[in-house]
A and B are shown apart, each in its own frame.
Chain A
Amino acid sequence: MGENPISIHVLGICSALAITTKIDTAVVMTLAVVAVLSISNTVISLLRNKIPNKVRIIIQMSVIASLVIIADQILKAYMYDMSKLLGVFLGLIITNCIVLGRAEAFAMQNSPGKAFFDGLGNGLGYGTILIAVAFFREIFGFGSIYGGQIITDQMYLSGYENNGLMILSPGAFFILGLIVWVHRSYTKVIDKE
């Protein structure tokens, strides 16, 4: 937990804002990132002694990009509605700094086994935050948890309203800020000046 990519390194914020309005999209996104990250880490680690230093970033990018395209194709074939919801953001895993960051910082120096688990761990850490943000946004924005309505019609009739801000990106900023704050004060991580 001390090395969470979002709350400690503040990486991958873009997608964390975009696809966390509901928990189910966040879960699918998490699975996609975990798959891409662990496979790309493994592949790059396997190639790490062969990759010429000059073009290493390009090679890393091509491996990641190919995996993302494949993930996108699979989603389109088996979870069409979900792929419509995720839209362009699934493709944007390519530009997610976490993936390239782990490839460059970890997979290039470590054995495939270690790199695989590093990818898995970072992916899940990323996913934990995504799902946490989505959890709060879905409750306050739609009054439901994982699609199941928890705010009853009775409560809407007596004047309760969903918070529209939570559905928009700024809502994610607030929640993400709070999560980073809580997590950092709990783990006592402070940026060095």
Chain B
Amino acid sequence: MATKLPPTDVVTIGLGWTGSMVAKSMTDAGLRVVSIERGPWRDTATDFPPSYSPDELRYAVRLDLFVRPAQSTLTFRNKSDQTALPIREWGAFLLPNGVGGAGVHWNGQIWRFLPTDFVLKTHLTQRYGAKFLPEHTTIQDWGVTYDELEPHFDTFEYLCGTSGTAGNLKGQIQPSGNPFEGPRSRPYPTPAQKQPYGQMLWAEAAKDMGYQPFPQPSGNLSQAYTNPDGVTMGPCTFCGFCERFGCGNYSKASPQTTILPVLMRRDNFEARTECEVTRINLDSTGKRATGVTYVDSQGHEWEQPAEMVFLCAFQMFNMQLLLLSGIGQPYDPRTGEGVIGRNFSYQTTSNVQGFFDNKIFNTFIASGAGGMVVDDYNGDNFDHGPHGFVGGGYIAMAQTNARPIETTPTPAGTPQWGAAWKKAVKDNYLSTIIPIVHGSCYSYRDNYLDLDPTYKDRFGRPLMRLTFDFHENELKMSRTLTDKLAEIVQRMGPREIVKLPRTGPFNIVPYQTTHTCGGAVMGADPKTSALNRYLQSWDVHNLFVMGATAFPQNAGYNPTGTIGALTYWSLDAIHKQYLKSPGALVHA
């Protein structure tokens, strides 16, 4: 039986990137905010200090910072005629836990999606005709445009101190940036990071071939920076321990290094850690959230009433709470009706290994978001007509690390163990580069999320079930772009190239990316979206759902920049409209 607590104005479920942004913004408005976080409190010097944070075994192999499957997991299958089984050890994606969320252990890429990405269906249909779209695709427009989001992209980039080179300033194409990006209102807050040797050589080769390589926009800063809230970050030291690790040097943008120092000083803010929300509570009409129920680490159940609820957990856990709380109509893949669980998407990644004889790259000198990028094959930056697929991605020499346990590339034909394998690892470690393709993944009728009929979590609640497979459109895109990437590597004069395009079926075991998206998408029509254009639930007006949960499909970029922009876009509407007159911000 839950103990009922005194009411508060705002609850955020989770205290990661979006939870921190929401809590900061709502306390700015003078509201009392309680953030309820499943995982532990985390801070730089006490939890990932530079004296031991670069510990590959602890953090990258044993996954110290991630949620334990025993605490929370999901079941998986490729197709709806298969039986899903629980994920008992993380593989393809690594789901976060704790204060700072995935913002603690990400690589730090801060991209803007392309203007056409936000009006994807309209744009592709106009350019290529409806028949050109893949069979069974459920791609759709977002209900918000790039121009509307531009000020909010800017806010997030300046919060983080983002290091980059503008490619399009107010419509003027700039010489060293991404010529394909949407217009930005001002330059990045800090200059682009320096690039290691392999990145420079790769970019020279790309330039020779007529591409326009540019530095990846990075949340690992090129220089010290103090953000508009007065929080100071330091310069990145290229240690190569970013993704899966907390940054001990205050150089990687995260809630800890950008927002929490300000938020934690506020009397109208409270964080409750190691408290897992089990349900969003609704009133008798089902149209209004009354607060949340959560369980603390002693197993005690509490009810926290609130005027507004912000669902700010990671995409998968947002979806689980929506399904378990009975909010919105669950998606049915047979009829295509319902919106909760619809349009799950992922990311289509691949790479090329280039083995060289006469070059020492020292790829361990790395920043998780550094790298040189070619964007000619992203989104609709090129004519898809001759290719027979839609979507694309960036191709980049953006090697994030060469940590010794897991970075052991060997040429084809090398034995998998023993003295010959050891010799090949030693011979190739310093002279191999692994550039990547970071490709889009569009949504389809048979990729979705629902509740598992068999398996339950520690509270006896059904686990969420993921049904997902790559479609031929994405695999074809991956083959084409991986070939394009290999051409650039070939121009650098390697001894040998190994091409590793993504192949089907989707495999849940090897790590690919943690960019799981969609499931409760935003849009203009309540029949095909769970959230309106302000991330407000169509069904429950005082519930806002943050994060990549709202992506109708995933573009060829890392999602965090767009998550930040959507969050500030939603908060802007809440400040200007909702707080003055609570209710639906869009009438369907």
Q: Do A and B come from one complex?
A: no
On A, residues with C-beta under 8 Å from B are none
